[in-house]
Structure formats: C-alpha cells, structure tokens
Amino acid sequence: MPLPRPRRTALALAAGLLIAPLAAHAESAAPAIEVYKSPSCGCCVVWADYMRDNGFAVTETDTEDLYGMKALAGIPDDAASCHTAVVDGYVIEGHVPAEDVRRLLEEKPQAVGLSVPGMPPSSPGMDVPGYEGAPFETLLVQRDGSTSVYARH
C-alpha cells in the first residue's frame, strides 16, 4: 500500500538531507536545489525562477504538508516562511538571496541552513513595488534551533 502523499514528501525531504551531501561531491556546474512548496503559492515559483536565473539547477515539488516538512528539517516556527528547499544537505527556508546560498555552500558551517523568516516584501521572489531596498535579514539556523544573523540586505 503506498504512503499518503504528505508522508512520502516528508520522507523525500529526509532522504534529500541525508543523500544530498554525498551527491554534492559529483562535479556539477550548477548546484542542485529541491524546492518544496504549496501548489498554490506564486511567490515560491518566482523564487525558484530567480534561483535558476542565478545558476542553480532547481526542481520543484508541490506538497500540502509544508509545516511537517519544516519541523522534520529542523526549522523553528519563528524562522518559517512559505517554501522549504534543500541544497547540498542544507535547508533553505523562504526567500533567501542566491548570494547567501552560495556563501553557505562555500563556508559549509555546521548548521541546519538558512532562513529569511516570513515574506519580506523586498526579498528575492517577493519584489513588492514600493518596498525596493527595504531591509531584511538572512538567518543561520543552528541544529539546536537557535538562529543568528548571517547577512543583512
């Protein structure tokens, strides 16, 4: 009997977090990033396109169980956003700028990943008119659930 869709998606996320570091050793010009999103969220699609435009090989997976996935991936509620992605074993939560993801992949900190909590109107993929240049922060999410500022934009 097949697993229900949300459970399969959560298992796929867990498998991605475990297997991605092994796959990262293969030579590739574009880092592979898997984006888990709601099928009805337009800004998630815009962010995925932004990441493609910035040299990432993006795969999108629709799911109805994003909150379960966030919890499984180690994203605390106060760091949550609208979509969750995985790249090279790191979780990328929300509208994180491509340059922050590249820096994370270069530095390889011992952490869960990065988050731009909520949906800041000036973050990549949001681009709300009138908010150009409005400040927002990218957070580094630690394995114990704590966060620290990783970048200011």
Model's pTM, two decimal places?
A: 0.82
Say whether pLDDT at 24 is over 50: no
Question: What's the whole-number mean pLDDT along residues 19-48?
Answer: 78
Give 109-126 pLDDT, tens digit per residue: 999 999 999 999 999 999
Mean pLDDT of 79-98: 97
Residue 35 has pLDDT above 70, yes or no: yes
Distance from chain centroid for Cα 9: 15
Tell me, which fold does domain 5-152 have in CATH?
Glutaredoxin (3.40.30)
Q: Is the pLDDT of residue 131 over 50?
A: yes
How many other CB atoms are found less than 10 A from the CB of residue 33? 22
| Radius of gyration of the chain, Cα coordinates, nearest whole angstrom | 15
pLDDT at 45: 97
Domain extents in the chain: 5-152
The DSSP element (H or E) to which 116 belongs, if any, is: strand 113-116
pLDDT of the residue at 2: 43
In the chain, % of residues over pLDDT 90: 76
Q: pLDDT value at position 16? A: 55
Q: How confident is the model at residue 13 (pLDDT cuts 50, 70, 90)?
A: low
3-state secondary structure of 49: helix
Q: Taking residues 33-49, report their average pLDDT.
A: 96
Find, among 61, 68, 67, the residue nearest to 82 by Cα: 67
pLDDT at 1: 42
